[in-house]
Structures are given as structure tokens and as C-alpha cells.
Amino acid sequence: MNSAAFAVIAIFTVAAALAAATLPQLMHAALSFAIAFVGVAAFFFLLGAEFVGLALVFIYIGAVAVLIVFTILLTRRDVEKVRGFNWGGAIVAGAVFGGLTWSILKTQSLAIVAPHMPALTVKRIGAALMTTYVWPLQCVGLLLTAALIGALILVLEEKR
């Protein structure tokens, strides 16, 4: 696993995520959010999980980012106002990051390099989804249908 590629993707992802969290304009933040997910998908490609990376690109950049942009446009009248920034949240997030990093770097059993691995083909993923994981797969299908119906009911016009 190339460490130069890792460094480039890491800086790209963290910078885009920071921009998504701190930019004052909501639309800029939504586009930075999509760019951050490009970085996460690149991590998945680097780790050899190409199918999950592609699914992430399709779902997050193709669907969720578009959904967020549509929501921003539908609630536009409210967007223009200047927003406050709560610095308590920054302190909590910094403390969480410090604690996590400290415990990760202290655990010596995590300082390992990737073992050799046979390529993960889509055929293997499909076979696992249709045999071992067929019950969770059906549950996820039911959950997505319920979420679709629920989202539609939530945005129906209110009766006066």
C-alpha cells in the first residue's frame, strides 16, 4: 500500500471535510461534503474494496449530495442569515480527536502492514449477499422501502 498515495488522499479528504464543517455558505459546504466523499471512496479503492468505493460514489455523490442541494434550495429563504458558531463543540471535537489518536498510537498491536490478499471480486460479494447475508439484504430492502414511504409522507402538504 503506497504511503505517498495515502498521504495525498488523507490530506485531500480531511481538508474537504474541514471545509464542509466550517464554511459559512451552506451551498459551499454541501459541495465540499461531496468532495470529502470522493476522498473516502479513494481510500476504499486503496484498501482493495473497489465495489464499496463505487457504491459510495453512486449513493453519496449521486444521491445524498443531490438531495442535500435540493433541500438547501427548498429552504432558501432561511439560508442567507448569518449563523453563529458554537466554540464548545470545537473543544469537544478536539478532545475526542486527541483521545482517539492517543489511544490508537499507544496500541502497538495496530502498527501492522496489510497482509497479502486475493482480489475481492464482485462475484464473491454477490455470492455472499445471496447466501450468508440474504436475510440482512431483505431487511435492508424493507428498511429502504419504509424510509422512502416515510420521507414521502413527511413532506406531504399539511392539512389545514
**Binding residues among 108-127 for another protein as defined by CB under 8 A:** 110-115, 117-118, 120, 124-125, 127
For residue 56, give every residue at least 6 positions away whose Cβ sits within 8 Å of its Cβ, in sequence order, or none: 37, 40, 41, 44
Minimum Å gap between C-beta 72 and another protein is 6
Q: Is 57 in the site for another protein (CB under 8 A)?
A: no
Binding residues among 12-51 for another protein as defined by CB under 8 A = 13-14, 17-18, 20-22, 26, 29-30, 33, 36-37, 40, 43-44, 47-49, 51
Distance CA 39, CA 17 (A): 9
| Residues 71-110, mask of contacts with another protein (x by CB under 8 A) | xx-xx-xx--x-xxxxxxxx-xxx-xx--xx--xx-x--x
Minimum Å gap between C-beta 99 and another protein is 9
**Angle at the Cα of 41 from the Cα atoms of 124 and 56, rounded to 5 degrees:** 65
Q: Is 6 in the site for another protein (CB under 8 A)?
A: yes
Distance CA 157, CA 43 (A): 42
Q: Are 69 and 27 in contact (CB under 8 A)?
A: yes
Q: Is 132 in the site for another protein (CB under 8 A)?
A: yes
Taking the CB of residue 44, how many other CB atoms lie within 10 A of it?
17
